[in-house]
Amino acid sequence: MIVGSPLTPLEDLLRSILDWLHGSVGFTWAWSIVALTLMVRLLLVPLMVKQIHSMQNLQRHAPQMKEIQRKYKADKKRQQEELMKFYKENQINPAASCLPMLAQFPVFIALYLVLRKFAKHPPPGDLSWLHGFVPNIAAHASAHWSGYVLLALYVATQLVSTVLMSATMDKAQRTMLLVLPLTFVFFLINFPTGLVLYWVTTNLWTVGQGLITRRLMPKAQAPAKRTSRTAPREEADQDGAVPEPAAAVVQPAQPAQPKRVKRKKKRGGARR
Amino acid sequence: MRYALRAPAYAGLGLVYLYRWTLGVLWGGRCKYHPSCSQYALDALRHYGLVRGTILTGWRLLRCNPWSDGGVDYVESQGIFR
C-alpha cells in the first residue's frame, strides 16, 4: 500500500473520529460515516466562500473582460495572458487555486482507506442503515438491491453536481465529466456499500453547495459604480448598456448614453 | 546516454500526465495562473530535470493558494535557479 503509509496519521485521525461518532455520540455506523463525511466537507466551506467572493467580483468586471476577449479574439494565447493580467490587476481570481484542490486528495484518499478497512473488519454494532433498507454497509454494493438504489443515487447526484459546477467549462471537457460517473459504477459496484454512502453524501453536499452558490451569484448584474479609475472610451460606451443603478451614477459624464439604453427591459430586471 | 540521464524527468512527466488524465479531468482543472500548474510542471521538468523541476513546481503550487492573485507566470521567469 504505497499511498497508505504516508497517510496513516490522517487515517488514524479519521478513524478515531468515526469511533467517537459511534461510541460517544451514539450514531449507528452508517450515520457515523455520513456525519464524518459532512464534517470533512464542512471544513472545506471557507474555501468555497472565498471562491464565491471572487466569482462575484468577477461578475462585476464582466464587461471589461468581454472587451479584452473581443480585442484579442485572433490570438488565444495572448487573450489568455491579457485576461490573467487583468485578473491580477483587479485582484480577482475566477479559477480555483491548485493548492486547496490538491490538499483535498489526501483527505479523501484517507477517508476511502478508513472505510475500506472498516468494511473488511466490521466492528461490533449496528451495520444497517435506515431500518434495514441497507442490511449491511460493509457488504458489497451489489449484495442487496438497496446497493443498486444507492448507485443510481450516486450517478444522479454526480451528474447534477457536474452540471452545476461545470457551467464555465468547454463542451468536450463537460461531456467527459458527464460520462465518467457511468464508468465509475463498474468499480463502485464491488465496493462496500459504506463507500457508496460516502460518495452519495459528499455529492449531495456538492449539489447543495452548488445551488447555494448559484443563489448568491448575481445574474448578469450591473458593475459596481465607478471607482476613481478613469474608464477608457469604449468601456464608457458599454456602461450605457448596463442596468439602471450604475448607469444613473455615471449619467452626467456620458453624453452618448441615451441612445443605447433599453429602458423597459433593464428597469424591470434591476428592480425585480 | 542522454536519454538515460533524462529518465528521472520523464518519470516526473509521466506522473503529471497521469494526474491530468485522471484527477485533473475529474476536477476540471482550472488554475488561476497561466500557464496552469500542471503545464508549469511539465515545462519545469523538461527544462530543469526532476529535482529542480519538482522544486519549482512545488513552489508554484504553494503560490497557487486562495490568498494570491494569480496571473501570468512562465517557467522562464523563475528566479530560483540560474
* Residue A262 forms part of a structural domain: no
pLDDT of residue A251: 42
- Omega into A124 within 30° of 0, i.e. cis? no
| Structural domain count of chain A | 1
* Residue A171 forms part of a structural domain: yes
pLDDT of residue B4: 78
pLDDT band at A260 (very low <50, low <70, confident <90, very high): low
Dump the DSSP string for A53-82: HHHHHHHHTHHHHHHHHHHTSS-HHHHHHH
Q: What does the alpha-carbon distance between residue A100 and residue A92 come to, in Å, rounded to a whole number?
A: 17
pLDDT of residue B26: 64
B66 contacts A173? CB cut-off 8 A: no
Share of chain A above pLDDT 90, in %: 6
Where is mean pLDDT largest: A20-34, A175-189, A220-234, B42-56? B42-56
* Residue A16 forms part of a structural domain: yes
Domain that holds residue A190: 5-216
Pairing of strands B71-72, B33-34: parallel
* Residue A250 forms part of a structural domain: no
Q: Does B77 have pLDDT greater than 80?
A: yes
Longest dimension (CA), chain A: 78
The pair phi, psi for residue A129, each rounded to 5°, is -135, 140
Q: What does the alpha-carbon distance between residue A159 and residue A181 come to, in Å, rounded to a whole number?
A: 7
Residue in the block written with cell 494526474:
B19
Q: What does the alpha-carbon distance between residue A223 and residue A193 come to, in Å, rounded to a whole number?
A: 48
Dump pLDDT digits (tens) for A200-211. Answer: 998 898 888 888
Q: What does the alpha-carbon distance between residue A158 and residue A207 come to, in Å, rounded to a whole number?
A: 8
Helix (H, G, I), strand (E, B) or coil at B33: strand
Question: Are B54 and B75 a contacting pair, CB within 8 Å?
Answer: no
| CA nearest to B64 within chain A | A97
B23 contacts A166? CB cut-off 8 A: no
* Residue A163 forms part of a structural domain: yes
* Residue A158 forms part of a structural domain: yes
Name A116's Cβ contacts closer than 8 Å, sequence gap at least 6: A191, A192, A195
B71 contacts A87? CB cut-off 8 A: yes
Amino acid at A83: L
Of A7-11, A108-112, A189-193, the range with the lowest mean pLDDT is: A108-112
Q: What does the alpha-carbon distance between residue B25 and residue A3 come to, in Å, rounded to a whole number?
A: 20
Q: Cβ contacts (< 8 Å) between B29 and chain A: which residues?
A: 98, 101
* Mean pLDDT score, A92-116: 77
The pair phi, psi for residue A64, each rounded to 5°, is -65, -40
Q: Is A168 near chain B, with CB under 8 Å? A: yes
Q: Does A121 have pLDDT greater than 90?
A: no
Q: How far is B4 from chain A (nearest CA, A)?
A: 26
* Mean pLDDT score, A37-62: 81
CA–chain centroid gap for A25, Å, is 30
| CA nearest to A79 within chain B | B34
B71 contacts A88? CB cut-off 8 A: yes
Q: What does the alpha-carbon distance between residue B50 and residue B34 come to, in Å, rounded to a whole number?
A: 22
Question: Are B32 and A96 a contacting pair, CB within 8 Å?
Answer: yes
Mean of the per-residue pLDDT values for chain A?
75
Per the DSSP assignment, residues forming a β-bridge with A129 are: A134
Dump the DSSP string for A173-208: HHHHHHHHHHHHHHHHTTSBHHHHHHHHHHHHHHHH
Q: Is A226 near chain B, with CB under 8 Å? A: no
- Among the partner-chain residues A50, A93, A168, the one whose CB lies closest to the CB of B69 is A93
* Residue A91 forms part of a structural domain: yes
The single-letter DSSP state of residue A93 is: -
Q: Does A120 have pLDDT greater than 60?
A: yes
Q: What does the alpha-carbon distance between residue A209 and residue A200 come to, in Å, rounded to a whole number?
A: 14
pLDDT band at A254 (very low <50, low <70, confident <90, very high): very low
Q: How far is A177 from chain B (nearest CA, A)?
A: 6
* Residue A212 forms part of a structural domain: yes
Helix (H, G, I), strand (E, B) or coil at B75: helix
Dump pLDDT digits (tens) for A215-229. Answer: 776 654 444 555 555
Give the three cell numbers for residue B3.
536519454
Interface of A with B in 192-221 (CB under 8 A): none
Q: ipTM of this predicted complex?
A: 0.79
